[in-house]
Each structure stands twice: as structure tokens, then as C-alpha cells.
Structure 1
Amino acid sequence: MIAETVCSAVSAAGLGIAVVTAYRRRFLSAARIAAYALVPVGLVMTGVVGWLADTAFSPTAWAGFGVLAAAWLLFAGTRAVERRRTGAVRGAPADAAGTRTGGAAPTAPTSSAPALDQGRRQGKRPASGDDFSDIEAILKKHGI
């Protein structure tokens, strides 16, 4: 009885914080806080402790699972919106600047790239020494 009261109080406080956060126009954070706040109520409604005894056929338990499902949907929805807003791609490696490559600006061309592009436009093949000059300079720099 006391555990249910404490969980309900924690959920009510969390939902209050979510309302204040939404009032400040931070809707993604508010939805995430609301999702966290619904978890204790969902756990109370499912009757985790007495699951095997008498809650398997309880409508309140299934309503609790519905609340947990709503919390999960809020989590997933906010993550999807956040990824879409930032342009981040799941599993994309970070570049040298530490930013995600999904929405990163293209890098500047190297010093030999304009010369190679100009030669290609004119239909010329680059000299064989020009192909590896950058690589040779890097290897020499590292003592290889």
C-alpha cells in the first residue's frame, strides 16, 4: 500500500515537472520526462510483485501495460524526432571534428584535387608522379 502511494506521488511530481518543461517550450524534454514519470504508475498498475498470483487476468494490469507502452512510444518518438532534427545517422562514425557525418558539411578539397579536376575537364591524364606526390609527402613526414 505504501509502495503504491510513493510511486503515485513520484509519477505526479514527474508529470508536474513535465508540464513546467512544456510550458518553457522544451517539448522533447517534456515528453521524455512524462515518459519517465509514467513508468512507476505502470509498474504499480501491472502489479509486478503479485504477477504470478492474481494479476494475469486483471484489467488494471493490462491497463498498466498500456501505460508502459505509451511511455515506450514517447521515448521512441522523441528519439526519432531528435535524430531527424539533428540529421544524425545511427552507427555513423564521427569525423575528425567530433561531429556526426549525417548532417556534416562537406570537407574542403585537398591541394592536388583542383589540379586533378582541371586536368580531367581538359581530357588530360595526370602525370604518374602527381598521383602519389601527396602520399609520398605523408610517408616522408612520418619517416616511412
Structure 2
Amino acid sequence: MLAETLCAAVSAAGLGVAAVAAYRKRFLTAARIAAYALVPLGLVLTGVVEWAAGTVFSPTAWVGVGVLGAACGLFMATRAVERRRLAKASAQDGAGHRSAVAPSASAPALGKAGRPAAQPGGTAGPRGRKQSDAGTDDDFSDIEAILKKHGI
């Protein structure tokens, strides 16, 4: 009841200030002040103020806020512990990143079987170039040429 009375008083005072502004021929300012002054009255009439006052002074609502805070704290604590464990594990691996679940899964799917075998006598491969035994020199030569072209 007190909150509704205060909102009504604020609205009445705001409308009074708007009337003074309109008397001074500042109609745009008066309309804006009147709009702000009518907001608390609208909140009272819709019941928002009564709901908010009931929530603020309700011990049950504050216990609920405390439970939600405890849940958030637990989430943050478990995440921090998980990050520390991952950091410690990556430091022990020496790689500085997470180890894969199945390390062989990160290898190329075709492996050496998918590459054409080096032809004996150094004959030209499918692109007309000589293939090396490892096959990596030709694979990266295109990339190196592109990077050099762009000055990287």
C-alpha cells in the first residue's frame, strides 16, 4: 500500500512540473515530463508495484535468490577446477593443448595408401612433376609459392 501511494505522489508531482513547463511555453519538454510522470501510475494500475513489493519483502523469495546464487557458485567452481585439471594435463603432455581422445583419428584418413606410389626411375607424377619419396615436398611447394607471391 505504501509503494502505491508513493508512486501516485511521484506521478502527481511530475504532472505538476509538466504543467509548469507547459505554462512557460515549453510544450515538448512538458509532454516528455508528463510521459515520465505517468509511468509510475501505470505500474501501480497494472499491479507490477504490488508484485515487486511482495517479492522484495518475501523471505521465501530471498531464500530462492540465495539458492540460485549457490547454484551459480557451484557451476563456476566446478568450471575453474576443470580448467586447472586441463591446464595441468596439457603441461604434463608438453604439447600445450588438449590431447585427442583417439590420437589416430587426427591422422589423415587415406594415409600412405591413398597417395600414388612413387614411380621407379623418377618418372613424372600426375601433374607432370617428379614425386619425392615422402611426397611432402611437392605437397607444400604449391603453398610456398602462393605465400611467396603474396609476400608472406
Name the TM-score class by shorter chain: 0.3 to 0.5
Which one has a bigger Cα radius of gyration?
A: 2
- Identify the structure with bigger relative contact order (alpha carbons < 8 Å, sequence gap 6+): 1
Question: Normalising by structure 1, what TM-score?
Answer: 0.34
Question: Normalising by structure 2, what TM-score?
Answer: 0.32
